[in-house]
A and B are shown apart, each in its own frame.
Chain A
Amino acid sequence: MLNYVWMSLIVIGLIVGVGKDISDEVRNTYRNGVPMDAVVCVEKTPTALRQTWEGELVISSEAFNRFYGITSAASEVRQPVEMTTLSSGKTTIAILVDDSSPAFWKEMAKNSSSKDKLLGTVNAVKFSEDKTTVQVSFLLEKISYVKIRAITKAALDYADTAVTISLGLIGVMALWLGVVKIAEEAGLLKMLTRLLRPITSRLFPDVPADHPAVAAMIMNIAANMLGLNNAATPLGLKAMEELNKLNPNLGTATNAMCTFLVINTAGLTLIPATAIAIRAAQGSAEPGIIIGTSIFGAGCATLAGLVSVKILERLPRYKKDLLVDGHNSESSHG
């Protein structure tokens, strides 16, 4: 299943991305090669040292929307520009894109060569009588393959993120594994396990009731409930390592591992701290109002997950993966 989902994410992503780029190309979404007309209010005229005009480009929202065939620009577009006359006589234009720019231009700038500017060449210039405004007609640089570029960037960025996340775990992992080891040596984990035996022996029938894996799982679930993410992941990984010691078929998940994982992915927590913090930051009158609803939602998820994991593990297609050399491995550890 994971194989197919993984493959689908990539294949669907690539197909949709290429499709979008082709349709942009066909419809010329970014108006490559189409000259745009605008008025520039001149603020600085060229000096002997720099052949640069600085000013403000003005286009009405209707003209902007008509040009790109969109409806998103609501107000008049006003952008700082620089026009430079090169020694060859050609004039270039640079539109400085900032937060106030139309969303469409921001998107275009992101995919341009300079990332925060739209560059182009000026075809025609016509000054007004008093030289304070100038009518320009210009061609912006070609923008294409937007999605393909975005996909490439995302793939490289996310690979980097994965390593950052993993390395970031080293410290807390070490801390928790050390502390848990003390509890283990002191016999504290055994006591904890004995206390919750009635529940755990039902959830994980394949795991011996006093196995260290049970204690690690209990602590992971407790940490998750309290929203202690820093503690939950290391304890969960410790539990997985202990469960793997009972695994006769390394590389294949056991029933207990799948059950444990589903409890974790359902994410039952008593206080959804992140959501509450963001609600408070957004000025909610009652940030904590979602505690009850979240417990209900995550409770549904946990229950549905547990029921489906117990049904699915009985299906022949998942059961056959547990066989080692044709023998049923479940019997080897009760």
Chain B
Amino acid sequence: MVELFRNIVNIISVAAIPLMFFIFVGWGIVRKVKVYEVFVEGAKDGFHVAIKIIPYLVAMLVAIGIFRASGAMDVVIAVLSPVSNLIGMPAETVPLAILRPLSGSGSMGLMTELMKVHGPDSFIGVLASTMYGSSETTFYVLAVYFGAVGIKNTRHALPAGIIADIFGMLGALFICRTFFGV
């Protein structure tokens, strides 16, 4: 069942991009759109968007870099340990939960490390990979998406994003304890 679902999604994922190109361009030709000219017209903006993101991304990544390099993560983990103990989250996975919204490459490294030490099919290994798959790098998405349109006042996007992250981590913990529980 899982295998079938996985195969179907895999096929869609592999074929999606070429199929999308084919349908979009094909449809354009049928509707007599000057495809080449229109493509170039649209593609022109690519450069500007990418350049506009730079200051936002520099601000965000540098702050996260300073935080991680200082070892402040250990302090946060110590502060959070009573909470994580209470909800039954293994101490080893707490750093991953904190790092997940902050740094994509950092949390990927941490997940790999946990699997290397505890084995990918151990409870901690399954939980770590589920936690990684249960959320996105919130701060990166925020910086890139808002940066592209020059939004400085992000209003309630960050609190809502963090609430989503917390529930993602709690959901991952709950489901893993239910099915692979210790």
Chain A interface residues (CB < 8 Å from chain B): 1-2, 5-6, 9-10, 12-14, 16-17, 20, 147, 150-151, 153-155, 157-159, 161-163, 165-167, 169-188, 223, 226-228, 230-231, 233-234, 236-237, 240-241, 243-244, 247, 250-253, 257-258, 260-262, 264-267, 269-276, 278-279, 282-294, 296-305, 308-309, 312-313, 315, 318, 321
Q: In the assembled complex, how far is the CB of residue B70 from the closest CB belonging to chain A, in whole angstroms? A: 3
| Residue of A with least CB distance to B3 | A288
Establish whether residues A300 and B129, one from each chain, have CB atoms under 8 Å apart when the complex forms. no
Q: A264-B141, A298-B168 are in contact. Are A166 and B59 (CB under 8 A)?
A: no
Instruction: Please tell me which one of the listed residues A147, A251, A290, A301 contacts residue B171 in the complex, with CB atoms under 8 A apart.
Output: A301
Q: A237-B145, A265-B165 are in contact. Are A252 and B133 (CB under 8 A)?
A: no
Q: A289-B126, A293-B176 are in contact. Are A16 and B75 (CB under 8 A)?
A: yes
Instruction: List 4 additional contacts besides A12-B70, A174-B43, A313-B156; criterion CB under 8 Å.
Output: A176-B46, A279-B120, A296-B134, A300-B171
Q: A186-B31, A300-B134 are in contact. Are A173 and B49 (CB under 8 A)?
A: yes
Q: In the assembled complex, how far is the CB of residue A236 from the closest CB belonging to chain B, in whole angstroms? A: 6
Establish whether residues B13 and A162, one from each chain, have CB atoms under 8 Å apart when the complex forms. no
Chain B contacts for A305, CB-based, 8 A = 160-161, 163-164, 167
> B148 near A: Cβ within 8 Å?
yes
Instruction: Please tell me which one of the listed residues A167, A271, A283 contacts residue B50 in the complex, with CB atoms under 8 A apart.
Output: A167
Most chain A CB inside 10 Å of its own CB: which residue of B50, B152, B172, B179: B50
Establish whether residues A265 and B171, one from each chain, have CB atoms under 8 Å apart when the complex forms. no
Establish whether residues A228 and B33, one from each chain, have CB atoms under 8 Å apart when the complex forms. no
Chain B contacts for A151, CB-based, 8 A = 66, 69-70
> B25 near A: Cβ within 8 Å?
yes
Chain A contacts for B91, CB-based, 8 A = none
Q: A166-B50, A226-B9, A290-B130 are in contact. Are A181 and B116 (CB under 8 A)?
A: no
Instruction: Please tell me which one of the listed residues B47, B57, B151 contacts residue A251 in the complex, with CB atoms under 8 A apart.
Output: B151
Establish whether residues A158 and B121, one from each chain, have CB atoms under 8 Å apart when the complex forms. no
Establish whether residues B38 and A182, one from each chain, have CB atoms under 8 Å apart when the complex forms. yes
Establish whether residues B46 and A175, one from each chain, have CB atoms under 8 Å apart when the complex forms. yes
Report Cα–Cα, A117/B149, bound state, in Å.
48
| Residue of B with least CB distance to A239 | B145
Chain B contacts for A223, CB-based, 8 A = 16
Chain A contacts for B61, CB-based, 8 A = 158-159, 161-162
Instruction: Please tell me which one of the listed residues A258, A293, A321 contacts residue B172 in the complex, with CB atoms under 8 A apart.
Output: A293
Instruction: Please tell me which one of the listed residues A177, A271, A287 contacts residue B46 in the complex, with CB atoms under 8 A apart.
Output: A177
Establish whether residues B131 and A297, one from each chain, have CB atoms under 8 Å apart when the complex forms. yes
| Residue of B with least CB distance to A230 | B17
Establish whether residues B161 and A186, one from each chain, have CB atoms under 8 Å apart when the complex forms. no
Establish whether residues A298 and B135, one from each chain, have CB atoms under 8 Å apart when the complex forms. yes
> B158 near A: Cβ within 8 Å?
yes
Establish whether residues B171 and A154, one from each chain, have CB atoms under 8 Å apart when the complex forms. no
Q: In the assembled complex, how far is the CB of residue B179 from the closest CB belonging to chain A, in whole angstroms? A: 7
Chain A contacts for B126, CB-based, 8 A = 289-290, 293
> B138 near A: Cβ within 8 Å?
yes
Most chain A CB inside 10 Å of its own CB: which residue of B35, B68, B112, B132: B132
Establish whether residues B120 and A284, one from each chain, have CB atoms under 8 Å apart when the complex forms. yes
CB-based closest 9 A-B pairs: A181-B42, A297-B134, A300-B171, A174-B46, A272-B133, A301-B168, A305-B164, A267-B136, A294-B133
Q: In the assembled complex, how far is the CB of residue A241 from the closest CB belonging to chain B, in whole angstroms? A: 6
Establish whether residues A266 and B157, one from each chain, have CB atoms under 8 Å apart when the complex forms. no
Instruction: Please tell me which one of the listed residues A12, A234, A275, A318 contacts residue B133 in the complex, with CB atoms under 8 A apart.
Output: A275
Chain B contacts for A9, CB-based, 8 A = 63-64, 66-67
Chain B contacts for A12, CB-based, 8 A = 67, 70, 72, 75
Report Cα–Cα, A147/B68, bound state, in Å.
10
Q: In the assembled complex, how far is the CB of residue A84 from the closest CB belonging to chain B, in whole angstroms? A: 34
Q: In the assembled complex, how far is the CB of residue A285 from the closest CB belonging to chain B, in whole angstroms? A: 6
Report Cα–Cα, A10/B61, bound state, in Å.
11
Report Cα–Cα, A297/B132, bound state, in Å.
10
Instruction: Please tell me which one of the listed residues A170, A181, A282, A298 contacts residue B38 in the complex, with CB atoms under 8 A apart.
Output: A181
Establish whether residues A262 and B160, one from each chain, have CB atoms under 8 Å apart when the complex forms. yes
> B12 near A: Cβ within 8 Å?
yes
Instruction: Please tell me which one of the listed residues B54, B164, B179 contacts residue A302 in the complex, with CB atoms under 8 A apart.
Output: B164
Chain B contacts for A294, CB-based, 8 A = 129-130, 133-134, 172
Establish whether residues B160 and A300, one from each chain, have CB atoms under 8 Å apart when the complex forms. no
Q: A177-B42, A177-B46, A289-B126 are in contact. Are A244 and B149 (CB under 8 A)?
A: yes
